[in-house]
Amino acid sequence: MGFHHSKCDASLITLHQGRNTAFLLLYVDDILLVTSSTALRQQLLAKLASEFAMKDLGPLSYFLGISVTRTKSSLFLSQQPYATYIITRAGMQSCNPVATPIDTNAKLGASGDLFHDPTLYRSLARALQYLTFTRPDITYAVQ
């Protein structure tokens, strides 16, 4: 179809057709397609639909944990719903914020209760790690 792989992200491919440009971000079975014209978007969607079973979910609102709010002149990207989802899964929605996110008196030791669900623990650790890739301001507290 004429797409070229990005040098900085293996999941991003781009297409340049004259004055039109398309960006296609592919992550497992999720596709984000951004085009400079409606005609190019419709053309690409028709080609993709002829090869793959897919649905056009319309204007972008949520993708890979990022919430998108559109205005006339911009897009606002936020991970607040994703962070709230992680907090809820961890059962911490009633916790209060603190000035210092680290317990300054905690000591690591071999005693203590093990986490009741190791699968949930690993899942939460992965989700928090993903969140910190795009939120370096919270990386220290999360780690």
Summarised one tens digit per residue, pLDDT across range 16-36 is 988 999 999 988 888 899 999
- pTM beyond 0.85: the answer is no
Residue 115 burial (CB count, 10 A) = 11
- Return the DSSP state at 16: E
pLDDT at residue 50 in the model: 92
pLDDT at residue 101 in the model: 66
pLDDT at residue 14 in the model: 94
Q: Which segments in the chain show pLDDT lower than 70?
A: 101
pLDDT at residue 85 in the model: 93
Helix, strand or coil, per DSSP, at residue 133: helix
